[in-house]
Amino acid sequence: MSAVIPESFHTDIQDYLLKKGQFQDISEAVKMEIGDARSQKCSLDPFLMYQYLGFGMMTESPFTIFTKCILSITGNSASCKRLFSAFGTILT
């Protein structure tokens, strides 16, 4: 079964890669998050960049939902295997 990918997903990917549209200030959002994390002596939180960019004020696009899912995957190898195995993507 194939899923239909919304046109907005393709547009958002292009805008993200070219730093256009709603992503034009992403470099500033990254700098702000790095500065905040340094001043508070804590780890970076990539989800806060969405707040800096104002995504919390609008309906999430398929691209931002996808991005948040990807950012939610832990870097630990065992956790990744378990997560993808749960989706049937990787057999462990």
Query: By residue range, what is the domain housing residue 26?
Result: 7-86
Confidence category of residue 71, pLDDT binned at 50, 70, 90: confident
Confidence category of residue 20, pLDDT binned at 50, 70, 90: very high
**Residue 6: pLDDT above 70?**
yes
- The mean pLDDT value for 82-88 works out to 62
The count of domains in the chain is 1
In a domain, 59, yes or no: yes
In a domain, 92, yes or no: no
Q: pTM for the full model?
A: 0.65
In a domain, 2, yes or no: no
**Residue 11: pLDDT above 90?**
yes
Residues 43-70: pLDDT tens digits?
888 887 777 766 666 677 888 888 888 8
Q: What is the dihedral of CA 19, 22, 27, 33, to 10 degrees?
A: -150
In a domain, 1, yes or no: no
d(CA 92, CA 78): 9
Residue with tokens 């190898």: 77
